[in-house]
């Protein structure tokens, strides 16, 4: 009986080691970086500081995660500046685009 318990303990220990190995392996392969959260490449280069996110959210009136020109009228930016900062030409600014715009103005 004692050998049977020892045998099961070794199997359990081996299974635990395999589980830990694969957890680390999968976590390393599929790790996500810190980014703006807009789903377009969650990399460190897309990182937006929290103070800029708070400013972004204060102008995002409809809370859709993007800013359109009408939401930024109170900032008194020109339409041409808005169009320059709209890097993907979709008519709205993401958090990353807005953060870059704040660096310009």
Q: In this predicted structure, what is the pLDDT of residue 6?
A: 63
Q: In this predicted structure, what is the pLDDT of residue 46?
A: 63
Per-residue pLDDT of the chain (105 residues; tens, 9 = 90+): 555 556 667 788 788 778 777 777 666 655 544 444 455 555 555 677 888 888 889 999 988 989 999 998 888 888 888 999 898 889 999 988 888 888 877
Q: In this predicted structure, what is the pLDDT of residue 24?
A: 72
Q: DSSP for 10-60?
A: HHHHHHHHHHHHHHHHHHHHT------SSSS---GGG---HHHHHHHHHH-
* Length of the chain, in residues: 105
pTM: 0.54
Contacts (Cβ under 8 Å, ≥6 apart) of 19: none
Q: Which CATH class is domain 44-104?
A: mainly alpha
Domain edges within the chain? 1-31, 44-104
The torsion defined by the Cα of 48, 53, 56 and 58, in degrees rounded to 10, comes to -170
Q: In this predicted structure, what is the pLDDT of residue 30?
A: 56
């Amino acid at each position: 009986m004692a050998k049977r318990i020892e045998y099961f303990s070794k199997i359990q220990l081996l299974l635990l080691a395999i589980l830990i190995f694969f957890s680390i392996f999968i976590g390393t392969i599929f790790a996500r970086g810190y980014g703006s959260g807009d789903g377009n490449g969650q990399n460190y280069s897309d990182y937006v500081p929290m103070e800029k996110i708070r400013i972004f959210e204060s102008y995002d009136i409809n809370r859709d995660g993007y800013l359109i020109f009408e939401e930024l009228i109170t900032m008194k930016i020109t339409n041409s500046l808005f169009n320059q900062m709209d890097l993907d030409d979709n008519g709205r600014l993401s958090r990353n685009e807005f953060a870059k715009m704040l660096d310009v103005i």
